[in-house]
Amino acid sequence: MALIDEAARQKQYSAPLGPFAQNITIEAIKNHDSALYHEDRYGTSGLLGQMQPFTRGMYGCYELIEQSGSAAASALELHYRDTDGLTASEWEAYGRALTVTTADYLRTERPSSGSQAIKRAIEHLVGSTRTLYQIDGVTEWHQWRDEWAKLHSAMSVINEIVDQIDASPNRPTRRHVLTGQRKYYQRDLTDELCDGLLEILFHASAVKGPADTAWSIHHNSFWDGIKQFGNSSETWSVIRARLIRLLIHELANVRKYADFKSIRIMGLLLNVLGVNEHPKGDTNSEFAFLRRYVIRLAKTTYIKIVTEQPHVAEAGLLGGITFDASSKRLVKTYARGLRVEPAREYLDLDDWTPPPRGATDDLPAAKRRRRSVRRHSRAADR
C-alpha cells in the first residue's frame, strides 16, 4: 500500500506496480476477512466504511491504474484462472473496487473519454454472468441463488456507475471524428456499459425454463432493472436508446439466416415484452418501437426459421413462449397465480414458402424497414 500511495502522490503513474497490485486484488477478493470487505460502506463498517483507506488507496487513482494497465497489468486486471469459481459476494467486492476507480475517472475532464482499464474491468464483471446457463431447468431457489446474485451484482454495479455519470460535471460524451470521407465516433463509458448489458442479456437467454425461473432472470432481474433504474436519469435514457440500437443490429441476422445468438435474443424479448400486437398501454414508452419491431420480426420470419432451421427455432422458445404448430402461432403464457387458467397472448404467424430460384426480395418493403431502423438509430446517437 505504501508503494502505491507514494506512486500516486508523486504522480509516477508508469511505475512498474501493476502485477504487484493485481496480486493484492485477487487475494483481497478471495479473503473475506480482508480490508476490501471490512470497508464495505453498505455494511456495518461505520467510519472505516466511509473513509475506505485500503480501497481508495488501491483503486482511487485512475491515472495509476490506467497507465499500469497499459504497461503490464492494473489493479483491476484479473487473470481468467483467478476468476474461475469466484462467488457472488466476491464479484460484488470487485464491483466496489471498480466503482471507486470510475468515481475518480469522472472527477476530472479528460481529452479522451475511453479507458481500457475500466473497459476490461466491466468485461470481467459482465463475464461473471456467463454461468447463468447452469440454472436452466432448475426449479429450486437455493440451487440457483448464487448465479442470480452474480447477475444482481453486475446490474447493481452498472447502475452505480450510471449514477456517478449523472452526478459528474464531466460526463463522457461521444466525439465525432471526420477522417477523409468517413465520419465515426469515439466510444465513451456509456458505450462500454451498453455492450455489457447486451452481453448480460445474451447470457440470461441461456435460461429457457422453467417458466418461473426464466421470468425471474429475464424480467425481474435484468429487464425490469434497465427499465426501472433511473427513470429521471439522462444517462439511463441514452443507454436504453443505444441498447435498443444494438439489439436491432443483432436481430437483423434473423431476416437473413438465423443464428443461435439472434434467435435467443428474440426469444427473451418476446418473453418479457409479450406477443400482443395491440397492447392497451405502454405504447409511448422507450421500448415501444423495439416491441413492435420484435413482434413484427417474429411474425414474418418464424415460420421460415421453423421450416429451414427447426433446431434454431426451438432455441428461441424461452420462458412462457411456446409454438402452436397446428395453428401456426406463438403463445405467451403468463403465471397462473390465483386464476383458474393462466392468461395467454397469441401471435398469428405469416405463412412462408421458399422463393423460386433467382427471385429477389420485395425491395420497397425492405427499404421502408431500413429507413425506420435508421431513424431510430439517429435518435440513439443524440
What mean pLDDT do residues 205-227 have?
91
The whole-number average pLDDT for the span 153-164 is: 94
- The answer, yes or no, to whether residue 232 has pLDDT greater than 50, is yes
What is residue 94's predicted lDDT score, i.e. its pLDDT? 94
Confidence of residue 348 (pLDDT cuts 50, 70, 90): very high
Segment of 6-20, 105-119, 148-162, 271-285 carrying the highest mean pLDDT? 148-162
In this prediction, residues 18-28 reach a mean pLDDT of: 84
pLDDT of residue 314: 95
Report the chain's mean pLDDT, rounded to a whole number: 84
3-state SS, one letter per residue, for the chain: CHHHHHHHHCCCCCCCCHHHHHHHHHHHHHCCCCHHHHCCCCCCCCHHHHHCHHHHHHHCCHHHHHHHHHHCCCCCCCCHHHHCCCCHHHHHHHHHHHHHHHHHHCCCCCCCCCCHHHHHHHHHHHHHHHHHHHHCCCCCHHHHHHHHHHHHHHHHHHHHHHHHHHHCCCCCCCEEEEECCEEEEECCHHHHHHHHHHHHHHHHCCCCCCHHHHHHHHHHHHHHHHHHCCCCCHHHHHHHHHHHHHHHHHHHHHHHCCCHHHHHHHHHHHHHHCCCCCCCCCCCCCCHHHHHHHHHHHHHHHHHHHHHCHHHHHHCCCCCEEEECCCCEEEEECCCCCCCCCCEEEEECCCCCCCCCCCCCCHHHHHHHHHHHHHHHHHHHC
Please determine, for residue 360, whether its predicted confidence score (pLDDT) is greater than 90.
no
Say how far apart CA 69 and CA 354 lie, in whole Å: 53
pLDDT of residue 141: 80
Give 162-214 pLDDT, tens digit per residue: 999 999 887 776 665 555 566 667 788 899 999 999 999 999 999 998 999 99
Q: Give Dmax over CA atoms of the chain in angstroms.
A: 74
Model confidence pLDDT, tens digit, residues 140-154: 888 888 999 999 999
Q: Are 266 and 298 in contact (CB under 8 A)?
A: yes
Kindly report which listed range (4-8, 81-85, 236-240) carries the lowest average pLDDT score: 4-8
Residue 113 has pLDDT above 70, yes or no: no
Tell me the C-alpha distance between 48 and 35, whole Å: 9
| Other beta carbons within 10 Å of 306 | 18
Of 228 and 238, the structure prediction assigns the larger pLDDT to 238
- Start-to-end C-alpha separation, the chain: 43
Cα–Cα dist 350/337, whole Å: 32
Residue 256, pLDDT score: 82
Give the pLDDT confidence score for residue 199 in this predicted structure: 97
Q: State pLDDT tens for residues 261-319.
A: 999 999 999 999 999 877 776 555 788 899 999 999 999 999 999 999 999 999 999 99
98 has pLDDT over 80: yes
Is 90 exceeded by the pLDDT of residue 330?
Answer: yes
Residue percentage of the chain with pLDDT more than 70: 80
Mean pLDDT of 324-352: 91
Min mean pLDDT across 114-118, 228-232, 236-240, 368-372 is at: 368-372
Query: What is the pLDDT at residue 363?
Result: 47
Give the model's pLDDT for residue 349. 94
